[in-house]
């Protein structure tokens, strides 16, 4: 570049700098501005005055003209301006709503919830439990526990909608709340929980014993299970833990599993009631045990089995708390709104009994729900709580055993006078009638565990023969005698009749170990496979080593059909103990055993199910 050109560039740059400096130092001439725009010399510049000066620019149209008309404060344009502003507002709100509808919360893993505090997010997992109104405070709220492969989260859902069954895969949406180190999701109203029909698990029917054999195989799966409840459940109870067994009586249950009900069932569920439950199998790490979890509506009553009220007596008044909230049966004397014991030292109040003045002073059998009244400080029986409840007459000798036991002084007087009593009861323990002398049996007022009273009774030689089975109901005419050794009241049977149905076999599992003394001599059912070891026949646990000797009944159903062979079957016989004179040991044997064939086709019922 030439020297002259360089000089020209430096001169031009100086001119530009001087021009900028002069503009920066230039002061606005206010008077000149007002002379230009204040046409009416009122000291104010109106919008119309400004537009008049720039009329040519406004008439050219475009965005400037649009804004000018929008900002124009002339009366003839105010209506148009308001409509434009209203349209812009509607457009803005619609755009915001559209954005809110299109934007979906981020789907995150449960373990990452801590990173999204105070944000609305979604998680996907399986519903493992839920509780309505967890604090029983009347809140329209449900707490739902959801689990995915990374962890477990709690959704607190207020004004909730439909809740799926346990085991359903759902998508939960809510605010992530963190408080004092605890994290949960919180939602209000519908839409917080979504799932498809395909996400709901199929609840196949399965038995408790099947789960008990290999619970790991059923972990996290949902099934329909039938069984008997171990205690009563209040209709409004939002959380209840109890047991589901395969027999209505605890002592006869072969299997039972912990059952957790996470919401109110809406109806009374009775102790010993048969129910059908749709539940999910879980392992409780805290308690180191297996359990099944369900919700109240998924517990359905099976009406083919009516629960039997627990018989309570005045002699075991201190243990009534074990029957609290259960249906019970009690015999006592009506006294206004109370029921009194025979010696009038104990009493319970009656609820929903109506007017009892017509039966005041009479002895009645009261059936209802037992509960403790804090206001009265005493036990009460609600006789209006169930269709089976009420006040009934004491039929025949229904409570005579308890009366004999509760007043021994009067019973001794009766023994001296030879008074005969008509009693009813059940045989406790299986007994073989002797063929050379009288046979001693035990007669109780009710089967275990509802036994309140039992007596030794002597049946004369020849009155009965064979076995008198445990649990057999009897009606007898007896006299009372006093025995010095041991010192007790005993019964002498004058006449006895077997009533009711034949007692069901006692169930026994080979994994329970050696039988207890009270299991012996009873008709017993054991499931297993027939095996022969050293010319001796055994019944062996399927897949296990436990076995018991078995004497198969001659001409048995098992031997009549080859389809019974090689299968795991239920055998029923008498469980006895045999002494071995050589080894000086005692051996347990299932004697005179055979399989069950209800339809008489020669095939075991178990084999037909295979």
Strands 363-373 and 378-382: antiparallel
More confident residue, 431 or 13: 431
296 and 209 fall within a common domain: yes
Give the tens place of pLDDT for each residue, 51-62: 666 666 666 665
443 and 408 fall within a common domain: yes
More confident residue, 384 or 431: 431
Taking 90 as the threshold, does the pLDDT of residue 122 lie above it? yes
512 and 605 fall within a common domain: yes
Taking 80 as the threshold, does the pLDDT of residue 24 lie above it? no
* Burial label, 276 (beta-carbon count in 10 A; 0-12, 13-18, 19+): middle
Q: Which CATH number does the domain housing residue 357 bear?
A: 2.40.50
Give the count of beta carbons closer than 10 Å to the beta carbon of residue 132.
Answer: 20
Range of the domain at 118: 106-199
In a domain, 2, yes or no: no
Cα distance between residue 280 and residue 590, in whole Å:
37
524 and 573 fall within a common domain: yes
Helices (H), 63-119: 63-71, 75-102
Over residues 144-166, mean pLDDT = 89
The H or E element that residue 3 is part of is helix 3-25
Taking 60 as the threshold, does the pLDDT of residue 516 lie above it? yes
CB burial readout 435-471, b (16+ within 10 A) else e: eeebbebbbbbbbbebbbbbbebbbeeeebeebbbbb
Cα distance between residue 602 and residue 560, in whole Å:
7
77 and 168 fall within a common domain: no
Choose the final residue of a domain: 499, 534, 564: 499
Q: Which pair of structure tokens corresponds to residue 434?
A: 């002797």
pLDDT band at 537 (very low <50, low <70, confident <90, very high): very high
Per-residue pLDDT at 420: 83
Please report, to the nearest 10 degrees, the dihedral formed by the alpha carbons of residues 487, 519, 271, 140 taken in order: 130
Cα distance between residue 305 and residue 323, in whole Å:
20
Residues 6+ positions from 45 with CB-CB distance below 8 Å:
33, 34, 37, 38
243 and 149 fall within a common domain: no
Per-residue pLDDT at 564: 80
Cα distance between residue 274 and residue 301, in whole Å:
6
Measured in whole angstroms, how far is the alpha carbon of residue 29 from the centre of its chain?
Answer: 88
Q: Which CATH number does the domain housing residue 584 bear?
A: 2.40.50.140
493 and 528 fall within a common domain: no
Cα distance between residue 273 and residue 324, in whole Å:
16
Choose the final residue of a domain: 342, 362, 393: 393
387 and 477 fall within a common domain: no
Q: Which pair of structure tokens corresponds to residue 298?
A: 């998924």
Pair 313, 402: CB distance under 8 Å:
yes
Pair 473, 500: CB distance under 8 Å:
yes
Per-residue pLDDT at 48: 66
Strands 454-459 and 439-444: antiparallel
SS3 97: helix
Cα distance between residue 479 and residue 457, in whole Å:
10
Taking 80 as the threshold, does the pLDDT of residue 50 lie above it? no
The answer to whether the predicted template modeling score (pTM) of the entire model surpasses 0.75 is: no
In a domain, 16, yes or no: no
* Burial label, 313 (beta-carbon count in 10 A; 0-12, 13-18, 19+): buried
Choose the final residue of a domain: 329, 360, 393: 393
Taking 60 as the threshold, does the pLDDT of residue 369 lie above it? yes
Maximal CA-CA distance, the chain: 157
Tell which phi-psi region holds residue 162, choosing left (phi > 0), alpha (psi between -120 and 50) or beta: beta
Strongest mean pLDDT among 179-183, 185-189, 514-518: 185-189
Please state, in angstroms and as integers, the Cα–Cα distance from residue 68 to each residue in 51, 56, 77, 364, following that order.
8, 13, 11, 98
**CB-hemisphere CA count at 13 Å for 410?**
10
122 and 174 fall within a common domain: yes
SS3 517: helix
Cα distance between residue 450 and residue 448, in whole Å:
5
In a domain, 234, yes or no: yes
Of 178, 188, 172, 193, the residue nearest 109 (C-alpha): 172
SS3 92: helix
**CB-hemisphere CA count at 13 Å for 84?**
12
Taking 50 as the threshold, does the pLDDT of residue 66 lie above it? yes
Residues 6+ positions from 232 with CB-CB distance below 8 Å:
268, 269, 270, 271, 325, 326, 327, 369
SS3 labels along 8-41: HHHHHHHHHHHHHHHHHHCCCCHHHHHHHHCCCC
In a domain, 554, yes or no: yes
Over residues 411-439, mean pLDDT = 87
Cα distance between residue 448 and residue 440, in whole Å:
19
More confident residue, 14 or 189: 189
414 and 325 fall within a common domain: no
Taking 60 as the threshold, does the pLDDT of residue 192 lie above it? yes
Cα distance between residue 532 and residue 537, in whole Å:
5
In a domain, 439, yes or no: yes
In a domain, 494, yes or no: yes
Percent of the chain residues past pLDDT 90, beyond the cut: 21
In a domain, 75, yes or no: yes
In a domain, 5, yes or no: no
Give the tens place of pLDDT for each residue, 423-432: 889 999 999 9
Instruction: Please list the residues that pair with 159 across neighbouring strands.
Output: none
Pair 264, 237: CB distance under 8 Å:
yes
346 and 422 fall within a common domain: no
115 and 79 fall within a common domain: no
Q: What are phi and psi of 38, to 5 degrees?
A: -90, 80
Pair 563, 557: CB distance under 8 Å:
no
Measured in whole angstroms, how far is the alpha carbon of residue 65 from the centre of its chain?
Answer: 73
DSSP 341-398: -TTSS-EEEEES----GGGTT-EEEEEEEEEEETTTTEEEEETTSSTT-EEEE--TTT
Over residues 479-498, mean pLDDT = 89
What's the mean per-residue pLDDT of the chain?
Answer: 82
Q: Which of 14-18, 137-141, 238-242 has the lowest mean pLDDT?
A: 14-18
Cα distance between residue 151 and residue 172, in whole Å:
14
Residues 6+ positions from 464 with CB-CB distance below 8 Å:
433, 439, 496
Q: Which of 16-25, 198-207, 226-235, 302-311 has the lowest mean pLDDT?
A: 16-25
Over residues 245-256, mean pLDDT = 78
CB burial readout 168-187, b (16+ within 10 A) else e: bbbbbbbbbeeeeeeebbbb
Of 528, 547, 521, the residue nearest 606 (C-alpha): 528
SS3 426: strand
Please state, in angstroms and as integers, the Cα–Cα distance from residue 410 to each residue in 102, 341, 394, 406, 419, following that order.
88, 16, 20, 9, 11
* Burial label, 569 (beta-carbon count in 10 A; 0-12, 13-18, 19+): buried
Per-residue pLDDT at 7: 42
Cα distance between residue 37 and residue 45, in whole Å:
6
More confident residue, 392 or 606: 606
pLDDT band at 33 (very low <50, low <70, confident <90, very high): low
Give the count of domains, the chain: 6
């Amino acid at each position: 570049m030439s020297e002259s050109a360089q000089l020209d560039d430096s001169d031009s740059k100086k001119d530009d700098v001087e021009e900028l400096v002069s503009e920066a130092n230039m002061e606005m001439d206010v008077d000149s501005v007002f002379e230009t725009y204040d046409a009416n010399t009122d000291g104010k510049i109106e919008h119309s005055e400004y537009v008049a000066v720039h009329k040519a620019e406004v008439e050219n149209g475009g965005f400037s003209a649009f804004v000018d008309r929008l900002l124009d404060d002339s009366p003839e344009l105010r209506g148009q301006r308001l409509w434009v502003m209203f349209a812009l507002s509607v457009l803005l709100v619609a755009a915001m709503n559209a954005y809110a509808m299109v934007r979906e919360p981020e789907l995150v893993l449960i373990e990452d919830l801590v990173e999204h505090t105070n944000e609305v997010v979604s998680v996907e997992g399986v519903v493992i439990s839920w509780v309505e109104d967890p604090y029983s405070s009347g809140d329209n709220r449900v707490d739902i526990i959801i689990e995915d492969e990374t962890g477990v989260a709690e959704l607190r859902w207020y004004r909730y909608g439909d809740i799926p069954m346990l085991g359903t895969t759902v998508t939960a949406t809510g605010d992530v709340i963190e408080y004092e180190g605890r994290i949960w999701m919180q939602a209000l109203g519908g839409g917080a929980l979504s799932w498809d029909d395909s996400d709901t698990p199929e609840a196949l029917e399965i038995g408790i014993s099947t789960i008990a054999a290999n619970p790991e195989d059923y972990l996290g799966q949902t099934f329909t299970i039938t069984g008997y409840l171990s205690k009563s459940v209040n209709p409004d109870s939002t959380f209840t833990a109890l047991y589901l067994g395969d027999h209505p009586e605890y002592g006869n249950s072969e299997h039972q599993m912990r059952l957790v009900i996470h919401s109110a069932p809406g109806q009374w569920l009775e102790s010993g009631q048969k129910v059908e439950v749709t539940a999910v199998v879980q392992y409780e790490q805290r308690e180191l045990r297996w359990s099944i979890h369900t919700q109240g509506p998924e517990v359905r009553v099976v009406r083919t089995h009516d629960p039997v009220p627990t018989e309570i007596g005045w002699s075991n008044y201190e243990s009534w708390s074990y029957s609290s909230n259960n249906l019970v049966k009690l015999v006592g004397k009506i006294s206004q709104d109370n029921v009194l014991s025979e010696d009038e030292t104990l009493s319970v109040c009656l609820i929903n009994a109506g007017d009892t003045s017509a039966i005041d002073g009479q002895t009645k059998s009261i059936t209802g729900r037992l509960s403790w009244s804090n206001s009265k400080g005493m036990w009460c029986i609600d006789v209006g709580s169930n269709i089976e409840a009420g006040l009934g007459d004491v039929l025949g000798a229904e409570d005579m055993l308890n009366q004999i036991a509760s007043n021994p002084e009067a019973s001794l007087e009766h023994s001296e006078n030879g008074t005969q009593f008509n009693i009813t009861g059940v045989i406790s323990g299986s007994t073989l009638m002797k063929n050379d002398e009288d046979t001693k049996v035990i007669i109780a007022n009710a089967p275990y565990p509802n036994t309140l009273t039992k007596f030794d009774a002597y049946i004369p030689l020849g009155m009965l023969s064979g076995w008198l089975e445990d649990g057999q109901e009897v009606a007898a005419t007896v006299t009372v005698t006093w025995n010095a050794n041991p010192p007790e009241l005993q019964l002498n049977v004058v006449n006895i009749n077997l009533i009711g149905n034949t007692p069901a076999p006692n169930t026994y599992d080979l994994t329970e170990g050696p039988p207890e003394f009270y299991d012996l001599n009873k008709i017993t059912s054991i499931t297993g496979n027939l095996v022969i070891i050293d010319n001796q026949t055994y019944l062996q646990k399927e897949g296990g080593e436990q076995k018991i000797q078995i004497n198969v009944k001659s001409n048995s159903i098992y031997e009549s059909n080859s389809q019974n062979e090689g299968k795991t079957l239920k055998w029923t016989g008498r469980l006895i103990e045999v002494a071995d004179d050589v080894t000086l040991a005692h051996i347990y044997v299932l004697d005179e055993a055979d399989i069950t064939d209800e339809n008489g086709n020669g095939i075991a019922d178990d084999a037909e199910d295979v």
